[in-house]
Amino acid sequence: MAEIATELEFAWAFIDKCSLALTQGELSAEEAAMAKWWTTEFQKRAIDECLQLHGGYGYMDEYPISRLWRDGRVQSIYGGTTEIMKEIVGRNLGL
């Protein structure tokens, strides 16, 4: 849980930076791709960890964590897959 809390703070800081850049019209495609890629992967890791804390109950539809787990998986597809986000970032690095 300490790792999740720490990564969450970093995620919020990066999202705040990107939000400010967006409102100022300065958000690059690479930064947007980084934000989408990293936060999506973080979301999956955090939900996986929380699911483990619930044990077998985490897979039962009666508990919200099961819905969060399912919804979290599709985030890596919405708005461009994680692999596409990596391609965008890689192009900026000259790869």
Confidence (pLDDT) at 90: 93
Tell me the C-alpha distance between 33 and 22, whole Å: 13
Domain ranges of the chain: 2-92
- Look up tokens 């980084």; give the residue: 34
Tell me the C-alpha distance between 31 and 47, whole Å: 24
Whether domain 2-92 has CATH 1.20.140.10: yes
Express each pLDDT in 36-90 by its tens digit: 999 999 999 999 998 888 888 777 888 888 888 888 888 877 778 888 999 999 9
Tell me the C-alpha distance between 13 and 6, whole Å: 11
Tell me the C-alpha distance between 68 and 63, whole Å: 9
Task: Name the pLDDT band for 27 (thresholds 50, 70, 90).
Answer: very high
Confidence (pLDDT) at 61: 83
Confidence (pLDDT) at 21: 97
CB neighbour list of residue 15: distance below 8 Å, 6 or more residues apart: 35, 39
Confidence (pLDDT) at 18: 97
